[in-house]
Amino acid sequence: MSLNINELKKQFDDYKAKKLSLNIERGQPSGKNFDLSNPMLNSVTDKDLIAQGNIDIRNYPGGIAGLQEARELFAPVLGIKPEEMIVDNNASLRILVNTLMWGLIKGLKNSDKPWILDNKPKIITAVPGYDRHFQLLNELGFEIVTVKMTAEGPDMDAVEKLASTDEKIKGILFVPTYSNPTGDTISDANVKRLASLKAKAKDFTIFADDAYAVHHLTSDKKRPLNLLRACESAGNPDRVYLFGSTSKITFSGAGIGFMGCSADNIKFISKLMGSQAIGPNKIEQLRHVKFLNSFKGGIEGIMEEHAKILRPKFEVVQKVLNKELGGTDLATWTNPKGGYFVSLDTSKPVASRVVELVKELGVSLTPAGATFPFGKDPNNSNIRISPTRPPVEEVEQAINILALCVKIASLEN
């Protein structure tokens, strides 16, 4: 495909004259996705005051681990047993931060001392990755050590080398299923390597933020080998904490967060969490239980309805990118089977320029470098595409503009 800079600039000016306002910056559900859960607002009434175990949902008692029926409902999302679950409030990120903070000030179950005494303890992350992971680790005072995210998950050769030689490396934090932003899922082989890894720190911990565990876009709903079961088989049952939420199942920011780990870890962390609060919001938990159990097909059923809304948006991203950038050698991109993002890499170091150009045309993109710690992509190439919130027509228009700006920025370079 030959590129004519004058022709491209004319297209640029034509778009600029339209004064567009398009947003593919954050991975948010659309109004249609939220509408699926509107009946949940009325799912609990004054006739639903008593939960399993004779728990009054209006009162304090009930336990830090959440309602039993909520643990039973969400355990399959993480592929574990109800007794290996803590069901909490709002979102998984909050529980993740809480667990990391306890590691810092108290240490986790197999720790000899609080992590903070190691003077800048370290956590491995995979890049490109989730910007909020980098932000929270930095704010907590961890040193972030990066490895490459591959099509089979974090680069395990690098992980093994780092963890086996540095006692200050306390764990790894990554998204195991449909990773943000690449959409990659960890392979079974890499799950086993993580589970059996010979770490220098005896309390090396896997923090697996499985935010997209059930967020399939296709009928190929393959799940990776369960990390908790794999660690158990490898003789390291307390090595992993799994995290998930209903943030993109029901309502974002008004849902349920949950965590899974060994029964011994549940006992350990529950005591610590119990010092912070008497228990979670049982009314919200019961609301979710009643609504999701009544939805046709349960959680799997509502996720299929979400996929019907989201799939055309991901399909149009692939259609436009293939049409406009296919065969140009200007960029490569992922074609995920689930999750909320598409990751695009420019062949030349022009990602920041592309983001600058699309902004001129009224398109909001995630800032270049956001998928790396401190916003610094060493190759200046990665761009995260979030097509989930706008309608299909706006996604198509935004991706056409993105492709145009990749061409212009590459020719400028």
- Cα 284 to Cα 197, 246, 247, 357, 372: the distances in Å are 39, 12, 13, 44, 35
Tell me the per-residue pLDDT of 121-168, one tens digit each, with 9 for 90 and over: 999 999 999 999 999 999 999 999 999 999 999 999 999 999 999 999
Q: What is the rounded average pLDDT for all residues in the chain? A: 96
Which pLDDT score is estimated for 91? Answer: 85
pLDDT value at position 3?
Answer: 83
Q: Is the pLDDT of residue 192 over 90?
A: yes
Is the whole model's pTM more than 0.85, yes or no?
Answer: yes
**Mean of pLDDT values over 110-119:** 94
Alpha-carbon distance of 95 to 147, in angstroms, equals 24
Q: What is the pLDDT of residue 366?
A: 95
Enter the tokens of residue 360.
């001129």
Q: Which H or E run includes 5? A: helix 5-17
Q: Is there a contact between 269 and 261 (Cβ–Cβ < 8 Å)?
A: yes
Confidence of residue 21 (pLDDT cuts 50, 70, 90): very high
Q: How far is CA 382 from CA 92, 113, 411, in A?
A: 26, 38, 17
Q: What is the mean pLDDT of residues 83-97?
A: 94
Say if residue 191's pLDDT is above 90. yes
**Is residue 253 very low, low, confident or very high in pLDDT (cuts 50, 70, 90)?**
confident
Task: Report CA-CA distances (Å) from 63 to 68, 254, 275, 282, 362.
Answer: 10, 21, 12, 10, 49
- Closest-CA residue to 255 (of 32, 41, 25): 41
- The 3-state DSSP class for residue 367 equals coil
Residue 296 pLDDT grade (very low, low, confident, very high; cuts 50, 70, 90): very high
pLDDT digits (tens, 9 = 90+) for 30-74: 999 999 999 999 999 999 999 999 999 999 999 999 999 999 999
Percentage of the residues of the chain whose pLDDT score is greater than 90 = 96
Domains of the chain, each with CATH number or no CATH: 5-27+300-412 (3.90.1150.10), 44-294 (3.40.640.10)
* 1 — pLDDT class (breaks 50, 70, 90): low
Q: What is the pLDDT of residues 334-367, one digit of tens each?
A: 999 999 999 999 999 999 999 999 999 999 999 9
Range list of H helices, 274-344: 282-294, 298-325
Cross-strand bridge partners of residue 364: 23
Identify the residue with better confidence: 91 or 142. Answer: 142
Per the listing, tokens 């600058």 go with 356
What's the mean pLDDT in 7-21? Answer: 97
